[in-house]
Structure 1
Amino acid sequence: MVDSSDRTSPIDLHVSVRGSGFPLLCLHGHPGSGRSMSVFADRLSRRFQTLSPDLRGYGRSRASGDFQMSDHLGDLDTLLDRHGIGQFAVLGWSLGGILAIELALRHPGRVTGLILVASAARPRGNHPPVSWQDLLYTGVAGLINRVVPAWSWNIETFGKRSLLRYLLGEHTPEAYRYLASEGMDAYLRTSSAATRALNRALRARYDRSADLGRIDCPALVMAGAADCHITAESSWETASLLPGARWQCYPNNAHLFPWEIPDRAIAVVEGWVEENWHAIVPSS
């Protein structure tokens, strides 16, 4: 992630800006887009100015060719400069959490609060092998859900037999509505270049756990116990190494837990923000 070799020039990212006040950068995962972060921005934009960019190669921020994961950081620096942002808090989901850690290490003193969702400084997974039946059921479940969101018959017949069984624990109607309104579009708008960049970083066994002690801002780390994409154990390791971090784990949920249990997840974020408000927003 931090390797600067073969780095390309920064690009202007498409970004959704909502609300006013202290800046909160909301970073999506893979596949994803800025729209995927609406589950957080809808509520947090009442207190913050939320900025939810499409990362390079995702959504409307198109990639002209191959790039490295480190290029995301240059793009985000350009975005912050474009909006005249000095200090800011950052919330990152999955890949977005890895980038949030990198920003906190890259800009000590500027990042005032760190929220990591289903993410880790040393991300490890235990996803089982994928079969052709998994892919078939996933495609059918996704198409039906796009037409009839959160249809219980589709959830029971195809959703729970598809790859969604590794992304969801409770298979709530809320999760399927988010999948219909934001998940499918995010998947279709994720470029092959973005997938290749992520896979290269994973093959290199990305690990920033030894550097977490240098991050001194308030931190919240959230995970689903059934997450096999970035395991809860990986997230817990990160929480234990971040000085003073709060840990929240949901026993019956997985990687997409913010879409499964949005009210519960946002309530924890809002409570943590309230407890740490004067540290997150130094001038308040």
Structure 2
Amino acid sequence: MKLNVLVEGEGFPILCLHGHPGAGRSLSVFTQHLSKRFRTIAPDLRGYGNSQTQQDFLMIDHLTDLEEVLDRYNISRCIVLGWSLGGILAIELALKHPDRISGLILVATSARPWGDHPPISLQDNVFTGIAAILNRLQPGWGWNIETFGKRSLFRHLVQQQTPATYEYLANEAVYAYLRTSGAATRALSLALKRGYNRLPELEKIQCPCLVMAGEKDRHITAASSLEMVRSLSNCEWYCYPDTAHLLPWEIPQQILGDIDRWLTNHPDITQPAK
């Protein structure tokens, strides 16, 4: 499938992969910053955003689509930044195409993802719906955050429930949720039910890796991410306190600063293929 792709900037390419629910524009927190020095390529994965399909598919089809993107833009070597599901796909690309992937930036993800999300109540769903609607109408409204946001499912997605974080939720998360298809949800659910685990293969990944996790992530726990880190041979690890699964929207400047430092410390990964 030919994916819809958002391309910004010029220079060495960074392939940016969103999570579930998600879309390429969900990664604006990364692409707006990185595109000042690099060429960022942020596709809507199959079944997400403007890459819609009416047919069911398997997770492996995402890899075929991403290979087409690399070929379409004549990318022989690139960094892959993946958030949540996007991180899993980044790992798969590095395992399948080690010659094309020069580095990995893995955010809130794991090669054997597991969570500890508590049961969801009717009140959770009701308050989440109200909080989302009000936040869409008036992003970052303090009264809404205090009255509904902190009592909704948002409390498990973000720990720092600030107006700035809620503006990201209004501008990016609502669109991502509405543009995530049932086919995409079914493909992910099937993969998880089958017990996804790539830990035994991680020793094959030799490129530099940066792993970033939220200490209080309930969706893909920090312990799950750390388990992956221990299986990677060339990895730098950050676990941020008082953050959760949407940590790039909670502490964007800290996240971007750490990415910049990592890129500076690994100049070879931004060199074109020889």
1:264 aligned counterpart, secondary structure: helix
**Matches of 1:126 and 1:202 in 2, distance apart?**
15
Identity, % of aligned pairs? 57
Corresponding residue for 1:73?
Answer: 63
- Match of residue 199 from structure 2: 209
Counterpart Cα distance in 1 of 2:36 and 2:235: 24
* Cα displacement (A) at 1:281: 2.3
AA matched with 1:173: P
Question: Distance between the aligned counterparts of 2:252 and 2:164, measured in 1?
Answer: 8
1:198 to 142, 165, 188: 188
Amino acid at match of 2:180: T
Shift of 1:279: 3.1
User: Secondary structure of the equivalent of 1:46?
Assistant: coil
Whether contact under 8 Å (2:208, 2:235) holds in the other structure is yes
Superposition misfits of 4+ residues, deviation over 6 angstroms: none
> Partner letter of residue 202 of structure 2?
L
Tell me which of 77, 89, 108 is aligned to 1:99. Answer: 89
Name the SS of the counterpart of 1:241 in structure 2: coil
Show CA shifts across 1:130-188 (max 9, x none): 11110000000000000100011101110010000110011122210011111101100
- For residues 43 and 203 of structure 2, the distance between their equivalents in structure 1, rounded to whole angstroms, comes to 28
Distance of 1:161 and 1:91 partners within structure 2:
32
What TM-score comes out, normalization by structure 1 length?
0.95
Match of 1:34 among 10, 24, 47: 24
User: 1:18, 1:41 within 8 Å by CA — same for their partners in 2?
Assistant: yes
- What's the secondary structure of 2:245's corresponding residue? coil
AA matched with 2:126: L
1:86 to 52, 76, 79: 76
- Count the aligned residue pairs: 274
Q: Aligned partner of 1:177: which letter? A: E
Cα distance in 1 for partners of 2:272, 2:23 equals 29
Measure, in 1, the Cα distance between the counterparts of 2:269 and 2:125: 46
1:18 aligns with 2:21: no
- Equivalent residue number for residue 39 of structure 2: 49
Preserved contact between residue 174 and residue 261 of structure 1 (Cα < 8 Å): no
Shift of 1:89: 0.6
Q: What are the superposed Cα offsets for residues 35-74 of structure 1, whole Å, 9 maximum, x if unpaired? A: 0000000111112110000000000001121000110000
Deviation at 1:282, TM superposition (A): 5.0
Shift of 1:283: 6.2
User: Conserved in 2, the CA contact under 8 Å of 1:24 and 1:91?
Assistant: yes
Unaligned residue ranges in structure 1 (runs of 5+) = 1-10
Normalised by the size of structure 2, how large is the TM-score? 0.98
Root mean square deviation, CA, Å: 1.1
SS at match of 1:89: strand
